[in-house]
A and B are shown apart, each in its own frame.
Chain A
Amino acid sequence: MKFDVLIVGGGVNGLTAAAYLARTGKRVGVLEQQKSLGGVCVTQEFHPGFRANVCVDDPGWMPAHVAQDLNLAAHGYTPAFAPVGAVFPGQSGEAVMLPSQPAQAVAALRTHAPADAARWEAFCGQVHRLSGMLQALYNERTPVIGRPAMADLMPLLALGRRLRGLGKRGMVDFLRAVPMPVADYLDEWFESPQLKGALAMWGVRDVQHGPMSGGTTLVYLNQHVGIPAGLMGGRRLVPGGVGQLPLALAAAAKAAGAEIRLNAEVIQIVTKNAAISGVVLVNGEQLEAPVVMCSADVRRTFGMLMEPGLFDPDFLGATHNVRMRSPVVRLHLALDGLPATSWSREALGGTISLAGDMGQIEQAYDAAKHGGIASRPCLQVTIPSLHDSGMAPAGKHVMTVHAQFAAYRQQGGWTTDQQRLAVEATLQQLNNWMPGLSDHVLQVASFTPADVEREFLVTEGSTIHGELALDQFLFMRPVPECARYATPIPGLWLCGSSVHPGAGTACASGWLAAREVMNTWKKK
C-alpha cells in the first residue's frame, strides 16, 4: 500500500503531525502498536469501573493554536486548570495548600512559614516570567544548527527576552537559574523545609537527578510552562482523563482524512538508495511511503528500527548515548473510599507532594543513582476521581501515585521481587501519610520503568523520551543532527518527545515536525 506519509506511533505527537499533514490532502497513515491510541498519554481501566492516567497526570503545555486548528474542544478535549496546585503536609501533618490565587496561597503559607509567605508572590512572578521564556522558545523550532554559534543563540535569547518583556535583570535571572540545582534555587527564596521539599519534586520529576543536581531548575521551569502564574505545582484537569487528548487528536486526524491503524507495530523503517521507502510491520506487511515520521524515541528509532549501516557510527553512538533512565514507579489504587482525614476535599484535589525535605529527596535519588530502589520514595499523589466522577464507580476513588526514585538499570534487572520492593515502599509512605488507607485498597496496578518500556515501547521507560537536562535541550535534543526533526536519511523525520521541545509538552514536537515537512512540500 502506498502513502504519502507514514507516521510511526499514535501518541499525541504522532497524531498531531497526522492531523496537520492530512489537512493538506496528502494520504497519511498512522501506525500504532497498541490496541489503543495515545502512547504514554493514556487513560485505562485497571480495575472494573476504575480508570487511571497510566503514565502521566497532565498532558502538558501545547502551542495555543493547535487546539484551535484541530478543533480539539469539539472533539472532546476540554482541559481546565486545577484550582489547587501543590499540597503538602506541614510540621504536624496538616495540609498546606497552594491555590492559584496568590493571596490565598500567601494566607495558607503565613501560618506555615511566615517569612516564605512574604516572598511567595515574587517567587511566583519570577517562575512565571522564566517559564514564559521557555514557552517562547517552545513555540518555534530550536535555533542554531549547522552553524552553531553563540552568536546565533544570543539574538534568539534576546528575542525571547523582548517577547516576554524580561528586563536585563530578568534575562540574567534566566541564564543564571536554568543551570542551577533546584535546591539552591529554592534555598534562595524559602526557609520552610516542607515547602522546599514539596516544590523541589517538580525539579526532579521524571529525571534521575536529585534537587542538588545542576540543571534541575530547568526541569522545574519546564514543568510550569503554560501554567497560570501562582499555580505552583499545578496541573491540567482533563474530563475523561488525559487519554481524551489523543482521542480528540485522532478524531481531528480522521476528519482530515488520515488513516489510523491499531495493533500495527512497525519493526523496520526501510530505505531504498539510502532514502526512505516505507516500513515493515510485525506481521510482515510492507507499507510504502516516501516520507516516514517517527514518534518513537530516538534510541528506539535508530537503535532498533533502522539498518545501522546507513549511519555514521559516531551518529549512532551519539543517539545511543541519549540518557533515558526513567526513575519513576507509578501506582494506581482502586479505593472503596477515602479514609477519614483532617485534609479537606479541596486539599486532596491538589497535587499532593509527599517528599519530606530536599535532603530526603536527595537520599531517595541516591538509591537510584547507585542502581537501587529508594527505601523512602518521594511521592506526588493525585486523586482524579475527585474531579471527574467518570474515573471510578460512585463513592469510590482512584488514587495515582508518582513515586521516585527507582533506577531503570537495577543491578540484576527488574524482577518481581524488585517490583514488590518498590510497591511496598511506596504504599508504606502513603500509609504513613494517610493511616488506614491500606484498608480501602481494592486493587493496585503498578508500573515500573521496565513495565513502561515493555508496554509502550519507550526506551528505559522514559515517558518524556529522554531526560530533560541542559545537554539534551534545544539544539542538543536529542542529538544535534536531528534537532530540527530532519534526520541524516532523506524522508525520515522525528516527531516525538525526543525532539524539541518534547519532554512533557504535548503536540508541540509533532506540530513543529509536521510544519517542517510541509515546508519541504511548499519548496517543491
Chain B
Amino acid sequence: MLYALAEATPRMLKTTPFHPRTSALCEGQNWRRWAGYVAASSYDLTHEREYFAIRNSAALLDVSPLYKYHVTGPDAARLLDRVVTRDVGRAAEGQVLYTTWCDGDGKVLDDGTVARLGDDRFRLTAADPNYRWLGDNARGLAVDIDDVSDTIAALALQGPNARVILEAATGASLAALKFFRLTTAVINGVPVTITRTGYTGDLGYEIWLDNAGALAVWDALMAEGAPHGIVPTGLLALDIARIEAGLLLLDVDYVSARRALIEPQKSTPMELGLGWSVSELKESFNGHRAMRAEAKRGAEWKFVGIEVDWPSLEELFAAKGLAPRLPAQAVRASIPLYDINSGEQAGYASSTCWSPILKRYIGLAHLQARFATPDTRLHMEVTVEHHRKRALAHVRRLPFFDPPRKRA
C-alpha cells in the first residue's frame, strides 16, 4: 500500500548504529542529545574512569552523530576551497585538515575536518548541518555533495593505548600514520578508514565505516582493547579532555554566524584563535576580504586559556568556612572575567572545568585583545555559598595539556 511510505508512529530521536552495544553498557541511562541522536553522557555512574581512560589507557567513543558529507567530482577541491578557510587544493591525498568556515562577512559558521580520500574525493565533518550551504556554494561547479551523516558510522579511539589496540584489531602497523593523516584498513572483515585525529588532545584515532559494519567493528575493538584497558566513554569525559586540549565546541564556545541573533554573538576565526587556519595563498573564498582586513588590523577578541589561582579560590571559600567546591562536570556557562584594576569586564569564560590530571581549575575564555597576553592577571566570577565573588585568574596559552605522544 502507498501509505507504507510513512512510519506509523513517527520516531522520536535517532540512535546510532552502535546503539545495541552502547545502550546495553549505559548503566545510568545517562543520555543527551547530539545532532538529533541520543548519545551517552557517561556509561558508568560517574565519568571519572572514562576520563582517565582517555589519558591513561584507551577510550572508545561513539561519534557517529557528527555531520558528514562526501564531496566528489572534478570540482570537489574547488568547492571546498570556496567554503573553508584552509587550503584544500594543496592538501595531499591522505591528509586531513582541521578547518573553520565562514559566511561572506568572515564570521565563523562551523568547524570540522576535511579528509582528502582521493584526488577528487573528500569527506567533510561538521558540528552543524551544512548540506544547503555546500549546495549554495556549488553553483556552477561539477561536484556531488552527499550527506552521509546517517549512513557512515564513526568511533573515536583515544588514549595512550589506542595504537596497540588498533594495530591488534587491524593486524597492521600504524607506526607510519602521522598526525592528521588517514589510511584504510579492515577490522573484523569490515573495511574502515582510519584518521589520526580526535577531540581529546591525546594520541588517538577516528574510525569511519559504513553503518552495516558497526557492531562487528565495535566488538573487535572492545575485545582487542580489553587487555589494554579500553573503556567505552561518553561525552562528559570528552568535554573535560577537550578543554584541557584547548579545542573549542560549537554552541558552547562560539555561536555559528548562521544562528547568531545579533552581530556581537558572531566570531571570526582570529577571534577564536584559529587565524592560523586562514589560508594566505588562496585568492578568494567565503569571507576572505573581511578576514584579510582583520589580519591587518588585528582581532578585537582573543580566545585563550584561563587558570583560576587556587589559593585565591581557597581564600574565598575559607571565608565561609568551606573548602573549594567545584562541579565535577565541565561547566558550559558563560562566566564573566574582569580587569583586575578597573573592574570593567574584560571578557568571559565559555567552558570551564577542574582538570583531574593537571589538578587545576581551567577554562577557555574570550578576552578583549588587550587583556589576552599570557599571564595577565584577571578576576573571574565564582559563586561561593550563594554569593558572587571574584577569584584571581591568569591568562594561559592553549593547550593546557599537550603530551608528545599526540603527534609522535
Contacts and interface: CB of A to CB of B under 8 A. Distances in A.
Interface of A: 273-274, 303, 307-317, 320
Majority DSSP secondary structure for residues of A touching B: helix
Given A316-B136, A317-B136, A309 B104 contact: no
B283 A312 contact: no
Majority DSSP secondary structure for residues of B touching A: loop
B283 A316 contact: no
A309 B78 contact: yes
A148 to B, nearest CB: 16
A236 to B, nearest CB: 40
Contacts of B104: 311-315
Nearest to B78: A309
Nearest to B83: A313
A316 B139 contact: yes
B103 A309 contact: no
A312 B102 CA distance: 10
Interface in B191-250: none
Interface residues of B, number: 17
Interface in B278-319: 283-287, 289
Nearest to A302: B139
Given A309-B78, A313-B133, A320 B286 contact: no
B136 A313 contact: yes
Contacts, number: 36
Interface of B: 78, 81-82, 103-104, 133, 136-137, 139-141, 283-287, 289
A323 to B, nearest CB: 18
Nearest to B282: A309
B140 A312 contact: no
B147 to A, nearest CB: 18
A80 B316 CA distance: 91
A316 B82 CA distance: 13
B116 to A, nearest CB: 19
Contacts of A307: 140
Nearest to A314: B104
A19 B103 CA distance: 40
A312 B103 CA distance: 7
**Which of B81, B104, B133, B289 neighbours the largest number of chain A CB atoms within 10 Å of its CB?**
B104
A399 B82 CA distance: 52
A351 B368 CA distance: 69
A309 B136 contact: no
A67 to B, nearest CB: 41
A305 B82 CA distance: 18
A274 B104 CA distance: 14
Contacts of A315: 104
Contacts of B287: 312
9 nearest interchain CB pairs?
A312-B104, A313-B136, A308-B140, A308-B139, A309-B82, A313-B137, A317-B136, A316-B139, A310-B284
Nearest to A309: B82
B284 A308 contact: no
Contacts of B285: 309
A274 B284 contact: yes
Nearest to B140: A308
Nearest to B139: A308
A307 B283 CA distance: 12
